[in-house]
Amino acid sequence: MSQGRTTEGVRDQRAELAEANHVLVDQGILDGFGHVSVRSAEDPDTFLLARNLAPGLVQPEDVQVFTLQGETDDPRKPYLERYIHSEIYRARPDVRAVVHSHSPAVIPFGVSTVPLRPILHMAGFLAPRVPVFEARDTLGSGSDLLVGTAASGAALAEVLGDAAVVLMRGHGFTSVATSIPEVVYRAVYTGVNARVQAEALRLGECTYLSDEEAAATVATNTPQIGRAWQYWRDRTA
């Protein structure tokens, strides 16, 4: 546990995490709820996540350090759904940042038979498929749908598999990536893709990116993410 340490790397991560919270609110991905975390640069068996607070209010000093069991020695109240983050970091060593959102634009694709698919070139990371987590499979038919236990977090991580995004039926979505700017980009464009796809479906049958096109767009766009991140961050500074 590294709660009390203040190395420069962790200080920078706390500041970047606070910025990510503000950007995701500004971009309409988080509101009073939802959260974003980052794996610690100092100890990969821990991750950083704000205390139980609306994302728009998060400051660097609100960031707590958690083990991959979802535990912290910080006495301040943590988020109920911290197990989304802890279990994905346990299951996916490649993942270094996680966003959990209740974005209403994305909900329709988790509750209907229409899969969320990459329909625009900024969202190729959605290929080859976006799985849907059904809370009833783990929590039974009378749950509050929240991922409030390690067991349900592990079930979510299993459904996510090696994908970039998992939808959560009647609840929201979770996106993963290798950095804070990338996971913010993926969360933002998951919402954009959902809105564009829903609009296109009203017109009729749609043409989606092929898996090959999706891979090519990811290769082109990934090195460009810093440009959007800089702009989004400056808007909220």
User: Which residues belong to the active site?
Assistant: 81
Q: Is 110 helix (H, G, I), strand (E, B) or coil?
A: helix
Nearer to Zn ion, 41 or 159 (CB): 159
The position carrying tokens 């079930």 is 155
- CA–CA dist 173, 183 (Å, integer): 12
Tokens of 78: 């943590």
Closest by CA to 165, choosing from 186, 146, 184, 179, is 186
Nearer to Zn ion, 81 or 87 (CB): 81
- For residue 232, the minimal CB distance to Zn ion (Å) is 22
- For residue 146, the minimal CB distance to Zn ion (Å) is 6
- For residue 220, the minimal CB distance to Zn ion (Å) is 32
Nearer to Zn ion, 175 or 217 (CB): 175
Q: Is 12 helix (H, G, I), strand (E, B) or coil?
A: helix
Tokens of 61: 């000093």
What spatial distance separates the first Cα and last Cα of the chain, rounded to whole Å? 31
Nearer to Zn ion, 32 or 128 (CB): 32
- Region 74-113 residues binding Zn ion, contact defined as CB under 5 A: 81
| Contact pattern from residue 164 through residue 183 relative to Zn ion, giving x for each residue in contact according to CB under 5 A and a dash for the rest | --------------------
| Contact pattern from residue 37 through residue 76 relative to Zn ion, giving x for each residue in contact according to CB under 5 A and a dash for the rest | ----------------------------------------
Closest-by-Cβ residue to Zn ion is 81
The position carrying tokens 């809105």 is 195
- CA–CA dist 26, 209 (Å, integer): 28
98 neighbors 30 (Cβ within 8 angstroms): no
Nearer to Zn ion, 100 or 117 (CB): 100
Number of residues that bind Zn ion (CB under 5 A): 1
49 neighbors 180 (Cβ within 8 angstroms): no
- For residue 23, the minimal CB distance to Zn ion (Å) is 19
- For residue 102, the minimal CB distance to Zn ion (Å) is 6
Q: What is the distance, to the nearest Å, from the Cα of residue 162 to the centroid of all Cα atoms in its chain?
A: 14
DSSP H or E segment with residue 138? helix 136-139
The position carrying tokens 């911290």 is 82
Binding site for Zn ion (CB under 5 A): 81
